[in-house]
Amino acid sequence: MVSVNLGVLHYVLDHIYGAFVHRTKLTTPFFSKGWGGSKLDLLERFVKQLFPATETQNWPPTLVQPKWKTVWETSNACLREGIFRTPCDEQLINALPPESYNARVAFLVPKSVPPQKMACVVHLAGTGDHTFERRLRLGGPLLKENIATMVLESPFYGQRRPRLQRGAKLLCVSDLLLLGRVTIDESRSLLHWLEVEAGFGKTGICGLSMGGVHAAMVGSLHPRPIATLPFLAPHSAVVAFCEGVLKYATAWGALREDAEQKTGMTLEQARERLRSVLSLTDVTRFPIPKIPEAVIFVAATDDGYIPKHSVLELQKAWPGSEMRWVTGGHVSSFLLHNDEFRKAIVDALNRLQWRES
């Protein structure tokens, strides 16, 4: 009998999936329109501003007031969808495509429990997650634990996707930084709303892959103790686009040609410049969250998108945080390990104290 190394199988599955989705001519690559011109300079400056000189410099955020409509309601739970104007700086709004000006959220809440006795976790989108459904399926079973789920639709995704963008393939490098910065600002405003307006007793933030990077950043910057749960997440977008499977989905030629008109850049110099730009997303540069014990990373043993060294750098940067491993690759873990993700959410929230009313 031939024995099969499951770890190798999971890793190969990631690369087969990546080859089909990213290395064929069926889809447009990432950054097919180049760097983004002056927008890239603007975004580099705004990402650097995430690091405040004092703890209260960027707090409180703009308080949002979503306009809600009920999607369905039972005796035990209620699902509402809300819309609000993105609370970002006006310069960032002007850089956004018009389709992304308004943010959308889904809000799944247990009934018959006062909010001060409930927790709520904001779920952020991974690459290509254009709808609410997958994250609502992840959060739905947590209703019985009195944990509500709030799902944010990312800028450039879903109904906020620009007309010329195909799927999740962002047109410019500046779009990636803009997506991240706006997601962070919107998430911080939603957490503030959950704590101050809605009165939830505990809050948290989670995300898978790209959403996990954003969740780590938000958890780091939040001035109050929250649960922070990055799932299958690298420590930086550099890893995803320059080392993992997504390097095959990057329009390196377009990046070189866009820069070559000004600087005569070679292909290798284009790769180095992308590394330099995306190093701004390095989560290890962010402050340690208020309660690092309420940070739980969940990583896959054989991830073709996110190498092990990357997730271990995250845990090392945040002493007191916990690293958990699931058996599988990026794609298979995304499909098969929702129970482990839910358990991490419950455990991280249990490490927080209830807020006073």
DSSP, res 326: E
Of residues 308 and 194, more confidence is placed in 194
Q: How confident is the model at residue 180 (pLDDT cuts 50, 70, 90)?
A: very high
Reported as a pLDDT band with limits 50, 70 and 90, residue 2 is very low
Q: Are 291 and 223 in contact (CB under 8 A)?
A: no
Q: Is the dihedral of CA 296, 331, 212, 336 positive or negative?
A: negative
For the stretch 275-318, pLDDT in tens is: 999 999 999 999 999 999 999 999 999 988 888 899 899 899 99
C-alpha distances out from residue 170 to 31, 131, 136, 183, Å? 6, 17, 25, 15
Domains of the chain in start order, with CATH, are 6-351 (3.40.50.1820)
Instruction: Taking residues 190-217, report their average pLDDT.
Output: 96
CA distance 134 to 239: 25
Please compute the mean of the pLDDT values over residues 79-107 and round it to a whole number: 96
261-288: average pLDDT? 88
Of 80, 77, 140, 137, the closest CA to residue 111 belongs to 77
pLDDT at residue 9 in the model:
52
Q: What is the pLDDT of residues 19-68, one digit of tens each?
A: 444 455 567 899 999 999 989 989 888 888 776 544 555 678 888 999 99
Task: Please give the C-alpha separations between residue 116 and each of 120, 150, 349, in angstroms, as whole numbers.
Answer: 10, 16, 14
Task: Report yes or no on whether pTM surpasses 0.95.
Answer: no
CB 347 within 8 A of CB 229: no
Q: Which three-class secondary structure state does DSSP give residue 207? A: strand
What pLDDT was estimated at residue 322? 97
Res 183: pLDDT:
96
Residue 343: Cβ-neighbour burial (10 angstroms; 0-12, 13-18, 19+): middle
Distance CA 206, CA 227 (A): 8
Report the Cα–Cα distance between both ends of the chain, in Å, rounded. 63
Q: What is the pLDDT, as a whole number, of residue 338?
A: 92
Q: What is the pLDDT of residue 51?
A: 65
Say if residues 202 and 70 touch (Cβ distance below 8 Å).
no
Tokens of 5: 């190394």
Q: How do residues 312-357 score in pLDDT, each as one tens digit?
A: 998 999 999 999 999 999 888 878 899 999 999 999 999 999 987 6
DSSP-assigned beta bridge partners for residue 121: 149, 204
The answer on pLDDT for 84 being more than 80 is yes
User: Tell me, what's the pLDDT at 57?
Assistant: 59
Note whether 336 and 288 are within 8 A (CB). no
What's residue 108's pLDDT? 98
Closest CA to 282 of 317, 323, 334: 317
* Strand order across the 147-152 sheet: 67-73, 77-85, 102-110, 147-152, 119-124, 202-208, 227-231, 296-300, 322-326
- Mean pLDDT, all residues of the chain: 89
pLDDT digits (tens, 9 = 90+) for 243-256: 877 888 999 999 99
Longest Cα separation, the chain? 65
Higher pLDDT, 216 or 303: 216
